[in-house]
Amino acid sequence: MKKSVLKPILLIGVLALIATPLFLVSCKNDNSGSGKGKGKLPPVVLVNPNIKVPSFSQDSAYKFIEKQLSFGPRVPNSAPHADCADWLIRKFISYGAEVQTQPAVVQAYDGTPLNMQNIIASYNPDRAQRIMLTAHWDTRPVADQDVERQDEPIPGANDGGSGVGVLLEIARLIGQDSNLNIGVDIILWDAEDYGNSNVPDSYCLGSQYWARNPHKANYNPVYGINLDMVGGINARFTQEGQSITYAPSVVQKVWNTSSKIGYSKFFSTLKTPGIIDDHLYINQIAKIPTIDIIDNQPGTSFFGQWHTHADDIHIISKETLKAVGQTVLTVVYNE
């Protein structure tokens, strides 16, 4: 997650293995979303003991992050970015998903044309009741929070890689289970991190584009869950302001579920100011109630290695990946 984003300019056609358009994310502090949605919230969601939920593998998710890092920084217009996209698409196909891509050329805040590609993997595509799970798969082109090599791209293990790693493991598990009764769409946003905090709407270009050009006509999932920076050591996921404003019942559903299955130390009930991330544009433009699960601790700029070269595999916690992945899986299977 980062700061802000310019609107995408030019779409270059829909492509697919089963083709379609998509876009990316970013975030920054934004107090405007923290003052709403604080009324009476829905009651605690009980986890049904009769529903068999797959066991999320933290080791598998960790390996998915390592694999992403092996390509190098996944910055739009680079070879690592293109190679990683090919791998992600092949992975989803191997896990039984119906895959669509949404290639487009969008303009970055500095005028650079970015070749981006949102990736959509759908399970049970014929089901009307659907849940959307998302994360961004690109990485920051500069290390603006570092003290050296600030003009070089970052590895993006947590900021980008962790959300994708969790969703790939969820895809693997769903793909081998025929008992899921609802439809699930996993969407990976591109061009989320190629932004400038001084330029409005210059982050989250992929999600902004998709919100205006959904991959399917009249697409209307029940809700969405965005994952950003969900693999850090000692992560703490607070209830973020925009999520509370636009999707308070989803916040309660997810946080109550985490508590029920033993992960309340990660999911804090502390409410924090709203931020700009992919979920904001999905809420405001696409009107899909969507929350952000993000390591957003008060008084910090997200996790300690945010936007630095130290955002590598050594800061990833398997325990955190397990907490997030198992919580999201349990929420999905209890719909």
pLDDT tens figures, 133-151? 999 999 999 999 999 999 9
Burial of 49 (0-12, 13-18, 19+ CB in 10 A): exposed
Task: Residue 328: give the domain boundaries.
Answer: 31-333
**Does the residue 310 lie in any domain?**
yes
The token duo for 259 is: 């508590």
**Does the residue 173 lie in any domain?**
yes
**Does the residue 276 lie in any domain?**
yes
**Does the residue 74 lie in any domain?**
yes
Expressed in percent and rounded to 5, the helix, strand and coil fractions of the chain are: 30, 20, 50
pLDDT at 157 over 70: yes
- Rounded to whole angstroms, the Cα distance separating 323 from 263 reads 6
pLDDT at 301: 74
Which SS3 state, helix, strand or coil, does residue 135 take?
strand
Residue count of the chain? 335
- Rounded to whole angstroms, the Cα distance separating 248 from 256 reads 12
Specify the higher pLDDT residue, 10 or 85.
85
**Does the residue 2 lie in any domain?**
no
**Does the residue 86 lie in any domain?**
yes
Other beta carbons within 10 Å of 148: 8
**Does the residue 8 lie in any domain?**
no
Place of tokens 């979303």: 33
> In the chain, how many domains are there?
1
**Does the residue 269 lie in any domain?**
yes
CATH no. for residue 97?
3.40.630.10
pLDDT at 27 over 60: no
The residues with which 185 forms a beta bridge, in sequence order, are 122, 132
